[in-house]
Amino acid sequence: MAAYIARRLLLAAVTIVAVSILSFLIIHLPPGDYVTSYIAQMAAQGGRVSAEEAQNLRIQYGLDQPVYIQYLRWMGMIVHGNFGMAMEYQLPVAQVIGDRLWLTIAVSIAALLFTWAISLPIGIYSAVRQNSMLDYVFTFVGFIGLAIPNFLLALLVLYFGFKYFNTNVGGLFSAAYADAPWSWAKFQDMLAHLPVPAVVLGLAATAGQIRIMRANLLDEKRKPYVVTARAKGLPEYRVILKYPVRVALNPFASTIGYTLPYIVSGSVIVSIVLSLPTVGPLLYSALVALDMFLAGTIILLLGTLTVIGTLLSDLLLMWLDPRIRLENR
Amino acid sequence: MIPAELLTPQVHEPEVTEAEERISVATQWQLMWWRFRKHKPALVSAVVVILLYLTAAGAEFLAYADPLASDAQRGLISPQPLHVSLGGLSVNGLTGQRDPQTFKRVYVEDPTVNIPVSVFAQGFPYKLFGLIPMDRHLIGVSGGNRTAETTLFLLGTDQQGRDQFSRLVFATRISLLIGLASVAISLVLGVLLGGLSGYIGGTVDTLIQRLIEILRSIPTIPLWMGLAASVPKDWTIEQVFFAMTLIFSLFSWTELARVVRGRFLSLREEDFVMAAELVGCSRLRIIFRHLVPSFLSHIIAATTLALPAIVIFETSLSFLGLGMRPPAISWGVMLQEASNVQTAAISPWLLWPAVPVIVAILAFNFLGDGLRDAADPYGV
């Protein structure tokens, strides 16, 4: 078990380093460097930066050093909680991101919960009543869910909400709470707004999960121990729920590792369409303005969060599955 | 009473029916085709996919208007339904009016005017498949002088007065080509890395597997957005197309590599691989000459299943304005017009590009499923 945890931790650490290198790469990809953009920004606002000043800035940010030293400096800054400045806002990146990171997590977790709450019972039903009318209906709906890109579904939901209910289903807060400090009422308001993005985000993943759960349970259902349980005279719901479902749950749980990156990924694009106050729209505007420090930091944070989430799900799986827990004992 | 034929001993010749004989002499590809034929959704999807690619190839012939010709005066005209009657195809004409409030010129359908639509009509000149100079189009309005009142807008126009139908036809070309090109590159990467991983094994295998695991646990859309935003603004359509292809294939080879590795692991113990090794074939030759052909069908299936993801990402990025950008036309670029809900609510035909996106993704998925089943025709 210790070996399993150690292996997972090591992989997570390596992945985070890989994400940080990729984020750094993105910061440095556009032509010119931070100071060039800063000068352009100042010029746009009517200010001027002298060549001497520019040189000083370059030294201050370490832009005259080799790339790998710049990377290490950047990592050093981040470890100290200093994410640099967001040019567009003239504020520290951490302050610009603020609550948005936690709201991103909230939306992603809501989507994940929705995915599970829907796909688990439907998967079980479809396996138990294989080839029934509802099984086909769910399969069909699942395929449609797979085939509609996230952003398109968000767009369609917005469109129908606007056209037939004349309301804006986007956003995460009512106007009254948007800028208000956190309170119980604001929290409730957020909960009321969460279902739409959660459903939009979760639907595509749900289709995949239903298929996995259904296939697993179909495999298990035909095994002799199920026949034995039925022969002993257990009521049908216990035959299904007590044995094969628990076995089928393991591969199902292990897919959370792939579902989470998928959902976080999707949340960025859905947030832009539904104008949710998460990091998605911020990342988008930063990329359009080529504010690469802000963009790189967001990509790094999203990647790190995903890796941590995946790690947690691996530990959960270990707790669920005795075969991993008791390994090497 | 016991029936007579049970009492008389009978010699049982192994009876081979004609159908069984047909199966035992059939080639592998024939068996696959028979298996594939049974999967009806996949069969229908194959036809849809072929039609989509034909649309992409013959876009100039199918479109009846220049997809880039804009005219602000004709902005947001609603679709004209096509009437079929004994006299042939026709649409109702449009009359231009001045909106009394906004003073904008608007076009309203006029049921009294009938504009005949002819097949193989003359239109803008082009070269079919880039070779044959032509000026005929599948349908169109005859006559040279085309004012807004006498022209055809099957799916309406966008805000800049460009014909939606013609744009949709041309968008199919870029959206499908980008998928094909990206899949081609990730195929090479996937077969190479998956092949090395499965064939050599050991440290190389561990390294490549960890690399795949890392790439799969990173949320790709933010990364893609970051990479796509770094594509310089002054690049030409071809350059952006190339950059997008590279960005997509950079992350989509992992699934292919996984499939290839699994096949290699199960095949590398076979006798024919040993034989090839003994006569001194190089590793690359064994991989590409002996191993790849034996699981080509599996690769084709995995490749088809990789296409929908790329279509989704291209559409998403272009929709955000980070992927293909105007004047390039793709489904995502077209959907950008509908990104404002108010506009989309007034002119719902701007959402039309959503239809080919969904159809293409469904078709590739079903086709891939069918191919995957057919790839192993010896199973149950």
Q: What is the DSSP string of B113-167?
A: EEEEEEEEEEEEEEEETTTEEEEEEEEE--SS---GGG---TT-B-TT--BHHHH
- The reply to whether B119 and B180 lie within a common domain is no
Same domain assignment for residues A125 and A257: yes
Q: Would you say B369 and B298 are in contact if contact means Cβ atoms under 8 Å apart?
A: no
The residue segments making up the domain with residue A42 are 2-97
A16 in Cβ contact with A308 (< 8 Å): no
Q: Scanning every residue of chain B, which has its alpha carbon at the shortest distance from the alpha carbon of A257? A: B217
d(CA A203, CA B308): 16
Is there a single domain that holds both residue A115 and residue A132? yes
Co-location of B301 and B357 in the same domain? yes
CB contact under 8 A, A150 and B218: no
Contact A149 B345 (CB under 8 A): no
What's residue A31's pLDDT? Answer: 67
Of B26, B28, B44, B49, the C-alpha closest to B303 is B49
What are the residues whose beta carbons fall under 8 Å from the beta carbon of A102, sequence distance 6 or more?
none
* A115 and A71 within one domain: no
Residue B225 touches partner A, C-beta closer than 8 Å = yes
pLDDT tens-digit readout, A296-318: 888 888 888 888 888 887 787 77
Q: How far is A147 from chain B (nearest CA, A)?
A: 5
Looking at per-residue pLDDT, the higher value among B323 and B3 belongs to: B323
Tell me if chain A has a CB within 8 Å of the CB of B355: no
Residues B227 and B351 in one domain: yes
- Mean pLDDT in residue range A233-241: 86
Same domain, A172 and A206: yes
Please state the domain count of chain A. 2
pLDDT of B26 higher than 80 = no
**Whether residues B212 and B347 fall in one domain:** yes
Beta-sheet strand order (sheet of B132-140): B83-85, B88-98, B105-128, B132-140
CA dist., res. A147 & res. A206, Å (int): 12
Lowest mean pLDDT of A205-209, A250-254, B230-234, B337-341, name the range: A250-254
pLDDT of residue B9: 58
Asked if A163 and B335 come within 8 Å (Cβ–Cβ), the reply is no
Closest CA to B231 of B242, B240, B222: B240
CB contact under 8 A, A303 and B319: no
| B206 and A CB contact within 8 Å | no
Cα–Cα–Cα angle for B222, B317, B50, nearest 5°?
130
Task: Report yes or no on B380 lying in a domain.
Answer: no
What confidence score (pLDDT) does residue A171 get? Answer: 72
B133: pLDDT strictly greater than 80: no
Contact between B222 and A307 using a beta-carbon 8 Å cutoff: no
Is residue B124 predicted with pLDDT exceeding 80? no
E strands along chain B, which residues? Answer: 83-85, 88-98, 105-128, 132-140
- Shared domain check, B178 and B139: no
Distance in angstroms (rounded) separating the CA atoms of residues B184 and B222: 23
8 Å CB contact of A162 and B339: no
The overall average pLDDT reported for chain A is 80
Q: Is B246 on the interface with A (CB under 8 A)?
A: no
pLDDT at A66 over 70: yes
Q: Are residues A176 and A87 in the same domain?
A: no
Gap between the Cα atoms of A275 and B228, Å rounded: 21
Within B142-236, where are the H helices?
164-200, 202-216, 220-229
pLDDT digits (tens, 9 = 90+) for A6-16: 888 888 888 88
Q: How confident is the model at residue A128 (pLDDT cuts 50, 70, 90)?
A: confident
A5 Cα to chain B: minimum distance (Å):
16
| Cβ distance of A273 and B316 shorter than 8 Å | no
A204 and A319 co-located in one domain = yes
Mean pLDDT, rounded, for A175-194: 75
Check whether residue A227 and residue A89 sit in a common domain.
no
Size of interface A-B (CB pairs under 8 A): 132
Is the pLDDT reported for residue B88 higher than 80? Answer: no
> Phi, psi (5° rounding) for residue A181?
-65, 160
Considering only CA atoms, give the Rg of chain B. Answer: 28
Tell whether A67 and A89 lie within a shared domain.
Answer: yes
8 Å CB contact of B225 and A268 = yes
Domain boundary among A80, A97, A114: A97
Which one of B162, B196, B215 terminates a domain? B162
Phi, psi of A296 (to 5 degrees): -60, -40
What average pLDDT score do residues B311-339 get? Answer: 84
How many residues belong to chain A?
329
Share of chain A above pLDDT 90, in %: 0
For chain B positions 324-343, those within 8 Å of chain A (CB to CB) are: 335, 338-339, 341-342
Q: Chain B contacts of A298, Cβ < 8 Å?
A: 222
Asked if residue A44 has pLDDT above 80, the reply is no
- ipTM over cut 0.85: no
Which distant-in-sequence residues (6+ apart) come within 8 Å of B297 by Cβ?
B32, B371, B374, B375, B376
Among B321, B338, B365, select the one facing A147 at the smallest CB separation.
B365
Per-residue pLDDT, A25: 83
The answer to whether residues B209 and B126 belong to one domain is no
Domain end: B132, B162, B192, which one? Answer: B162
Q: Are residues B313 and B192 in the same domain?
A: yes
Angle between helices B354-375 and A133-147 (to 10 degrees): 120
Among all chains, which residue has been given the structure tokens 């003359």? B122
Do A117 and A82 share a structural domain?
no
pLDDT at B169 over 70: yes
Are residues A305 and A171 part of one domain?
yes
Cα A17 from chain centre? 18
Domain boundary among B119, B145, B162: B162
Cα separations in angstroms, A305 against A240, A286, B19: 36, 20, 59
Q: Which of B311, B358, B306, B378 is nearest to A153 (CA)?
A: B358
Sole residue written with tokens 């930091």: A297
Same domain (yes/no): B213, B141: no
If you average pLDDT over residues A152-180, what whole number do you get? Answer: 77
Of A28-37, A120-129, A198-207, the poorest mean pLDDT is in A28-37
Q: Which of A31, A262, A265 sits opposite B222 (nearest CB)?
A: A265
A37 phi and psi angles, rounded to 5 deg? -65, -40
Q: Does B207 touch chain A (CB under 8 A)?
A: no
- For residue A50, the surrounding DSSP H or E stretch is none
Per-window interface: A 278-317 vs B, CB < 8 A: 283-284, 287-288, 290, 295-296, 298-299, 302-303, 306-307, 310
Share of chain B above pLDDT 70, in %: 81
Query: Binning pLDDT at 50, 70 and 90, where does residue B279 land?
Result: very high
- Tell me the mean pLDDT in the region B346-375: 84
Domain that holds residue B283: 167-374
Structural contact between residues B283 and B340, judged by C-beta atoms closer than 8 angstroms: no
- Say yes or no for a CB contact (<8 Å) between B341 and A162: yes
Higher pLDDT: B176 or A82? It is: B176
How confident is the model at residue B251, as a pLDDT? Answer: 76
pTM (predicted TM-score): 0.79
Chain B nearest CA to A184, separation (Å): 31
Given an 8 Å threshold on Cβ–Cβ distance, is A306 in contact with B219? yes
> A76, A97, A118: which is the final residue of a domain?
A97
Best probe of the A interface among B175, B214, B216, B221, by most A CBs < 10 A, is B221
Number of domains in chain B: 2
The answer to whether the CB of B356 falls within 8 A of the CB of B179 is: no
Tell which wins on pLDDT, B218 or B9: B218
Contact between A22 and B218 using a beta-carbon 8 Å cutoff:
yes
What's the average model confidence in pLDDT over B268-283?
Answer: 86
Contact A302 B348 (CB under 8 A): no
Asked whether residue B214 falls in the same domain as residue B276, the answer is yes
Per-residue pLDDT at B286 exceeds 80: yes
Question: CA-to-CA distance for A304 and A298, rounded, in angstroms?
Answer: 10
Could you give the percent of chain A with pLDDT greater than 70?
A: 91
Tell me if B99 is assigned to some domain: yes
Q: Are A9 and A120 in a shared domain?
A: no
Is the pLDDT at B103 greater than 70, yes or no? Answer: no
Widest distance between CA atoms in chain A: 88
- CA neighbor of B108 nearest in space, from B74, B85, B67: B74
- Rounded to an integer, the average pLDDT of B219-244 is 82
pLDDT, tens digit, for every residue of A50-63? 777 777 777 776 66
Hey, which residues does B267 pair with through a beta bridge?
A: none
| Pairwise CA distance, residues A298 & A278, whole Å | 11
Asked if B107 reaches chain A (Cβ–Cβ under 8 Å), the answer is no
Clarify whether residues B202 and B176 are in a common domain. yes
Q: What is the rounded CA–CA span in Å between residue A93 and residue A91?
A: 6
pLDDT: is B5 or B31 the higher one?
Answer: B31
